[in-house]
Structure 1
Amino acid sequence: MKKLIFALFLISGIAFAQDMKVVKGNFDFLKDQTEINTEFDYSNFTMMKEKKSEAQYVEERTAELNEKTKGNGNIWQKKWVSAKESIWTPKFLEIANVVLAKEKKNINFQESLTTPYTLIVQTVWVYPGWDAGIMKQPAKVTTNLKFVETANRSNVLLEITSEEAPGDQWGNNYSNESRIGEGYAKTAKSLSKLILKKAYK
């Protein structure tokens, strides 16, 4: 029995690989920059294996939680709506900057800046994962990362796709919103490492 539980634990803890690809452009313009304006687009992403719209997911999840305990679905819905600004966006910015700062690179990602270049982080697909104690599955976040000229958004200098960035934490994490936030943190970490490798070669 102990061997079975241990095997299940190993299976549940397997990390899912993130696939990050450069679609077009290069990193040359980033080397001399100190600040990059950053925008987050959550307007049109799908969810789950079925690729439901966000609205459909929220409606179904709200109803499910309300059925279990009256009112809890409405409470969760408010948490979900606020998670974008309170968890997902800050996680991305924080980790992106920490990785670069550790390597003594003077480049910083922040919102609402007036800078020559803008990074648009467009969410494409989200899977919230789950945690049932001994077994769990990490969240997955797919994004399109597009560096554009701020004054001319049609001028794309660099575009990167990031598929199924895993989101999880040590121990148990029963919050879907928090697990998804870790997916954005992983995306940011991978992007910053790619910048370190390509822009400062």
Structure 2
Amino acid sequence: MKRYLTLVLAIVCTTVYAQKIKVEQGSFDFIAGQKEVNVVFDYDSMKLMKENFTNEEYISKRSADLEEKARGKGKTWEKAWNSSRELIWNPKFLELINKYLGEKEGMYFAEDLTDAKYTLIVETVWLYPGWDAGIMKQHAKVTTNLKFVETANKDNILLEVSSKNAPGDQWGNNYSNESRVGEGYAKTAKTLAKLILKKAF
């Protein structure tokens, strides 16, 4: 009976929450023929966890919790968390969107392509890092607004797509919050790329 309950808990805790993607406004007409797209990652209004912590609140709480377990652990985690955008999350998104749209349509997405006609703004709305306790785990979740704008006039939104609860995990165990969130960005990029392939080409 105990083994059965453990198995049930494992199944419940590893359930993948369905990603919801929706076109909020605009059309895909401008995309065909573009070879380069500038990308801007915006984390300014990001919230975390069910409590909707600001990034600063989340860092303060988690760092303090880890410091209680082992001195220095919180500060080490804080450095990893603060660097994860540049080292994991942004590269994961770019890797996957270029894999699908680069190989199939010859498009290239990257930061600092200021001469590109259009810019994709990846605005992070909400994150849940998930957790992994060996036999039981929960995927990370990443919610974003994806806005294609004119590079020269970012107020002109040509296409806006919302992506809710993109799941982040890997096969096997993944004990890194930062890595799990990175997989959520990879899933976001993959889903967006497939939507563009379907609607624009």
TM-score by length of 1: 0.96
Q: Which residue of 2 aligns with 1:131?
A: 132
Q: Measure, in 1, the Cα distance between the counterparts of 2:175 and 2:162.
A: 28
Q: Measure, in 2, the Cα distance between the counterparts of 1:57 and 1:190.
A: 28
Superposed, 1:24-173 pairs within 5 Å as 24-102=25-103, 104-113=104-113, 114-173=115-174
The one-letter code sitting in structure 2 at the alignment partner of 1:35 is: E
Encode CA deviations 1:141-185: one digit per residue, 9 max, x unaligned.
110100000111111100011111110110111110100001100
Superposed, 1:180-191 pairs within 5 Å as 180-191=181-192
Q: Measure, in 2, the Cα distance between the counterparts of 1:101 and 1:146.
A: 19
RMSD: 1.0
Q: Which structure 1 segments of 5+ residues have no match?
A: none
Matched, 1:19 2:20: yes
Aligned-pair distance for 1:99?
Answer: 1.7
TM-score by length of 2: 0.96
SS of 1:17's equivalent? coil
Q: Measure, in 2, the Cα distance between the counterparts of 1:176 and 1:95.
A: 19
SS of 2:30's equivalent? helix
Aligned-pair distance for 1:111?
Answer: 0.7
Equivalent pairs counted in the alignment come to: 199
